[in-house]
Structure 1
Amino acid sequence: MLSNVIMICTGMIGLAMLFCLWRLIKGPDITDRILALDTLYINSIALIILLGLYYGTALYFEGALLIAMLGFVSTSAVAKYLLRGDIIE
């Protein structure tokens, strides 16, 4: 039962990732593209956590945490670059 629910959620998250990829490619503005990339990070984290639940191992959760930290740092760096034009002051 749980494996069926995980597969359904995986499909729904995959569909959400396709929509975010479409917004990343087709976005009318750079801020829309940055938000789509940030949402792709969040969806990939959810997908990895679902994979960890499906296989029953904690290694996937550590990978999801690593992607979350890198996603936050990269989004902050891109936002700072757009605001000031320079990342390192």
Structure 2
Amino acid sequence: MIAPDTIIPLACNFALVVLGVSLLLTVYRVVRGPTLPDRVLALDMLVGIAIGLIAVISIRTGYTLYVDIAISLGLVGFLATVAFARFILARGIRGERPAEDGPVLLLEIGGDAKAARKGAGPADAANDPSGKGMK
């Protein structure tokens, strides 16, 4: 059987290597992400990787204050992700409209479903499944 004194440093080294590789791949996704939501998810993943790195360093050094820092970083990362999601949602409402052949984006605003498709007019109101028409 392997002694705990040898397995913990080996596991920490292995975890640091895995977290380092995932950090590099995630930074690549942040830089090369094709869309803004991809970049936001990659930034959220970076926070998770940083929490993992802090936890491994805490185990390796035996200094438990690092765990409190990791918890605080998790809270800040969650709030940043929510803020980015709200930004993307607001940008989707006020931003570019999808192409004519693109999918129809339905938004619930004030109880009525409004189509955000380019050129949606009275003809589309007759096909509205809610039966309320477009306003």
In the alignment, which residue of structure 2 is the partner of 1:31? 37
Pick aligned residue for 2:88 from 79, 82, 85: 82
What are structure 1's unaligned runs of at least 5 residues?
none
Any idea what SS the aligned residue of 2:26 has? helix
What are structure 2's unaligned runs of at least 5 residues?
1-5, 92-135
**1:53 aligns to 2:59 (yes or no):** yes
Give every structure 1 segment of 4 or more consecutive aligned residues whose post-TM-superposition deviation is greater than 2 Å.
Answer: none
In the alignment, which residue of structure 1 is the partner of 2:28? 22
State the shift of 1:84 in Å: 2.0
**Matched residue type, 2:32:** K
**Matched residue type, 1:25:** V
Q: Which has the higher strand share?
A: 2
Cα distance in 1 for partners of 2:14, 2:89 equals 40
State the Cα RMSD in Å: 0.8
Bigger RCO of structures 1 and 2 (CA < 8 A, at least 6 apart): 1
* Count of residues in Structure 1 that have an aligned counterpart in Structure 2: 85
**Matched residue type, 1:39:** M
- Taking every aligned residue pair, what percent have the same amino acid on both sides? 29
In the alignment, which residue of structure 1 is the partner of 2:96? none
Q: Which has the higher helix share?
A: 1
In the alignment, which residue of structure 2 is the partner of 1:4? 10
Structure with bigger gyration radius: 2
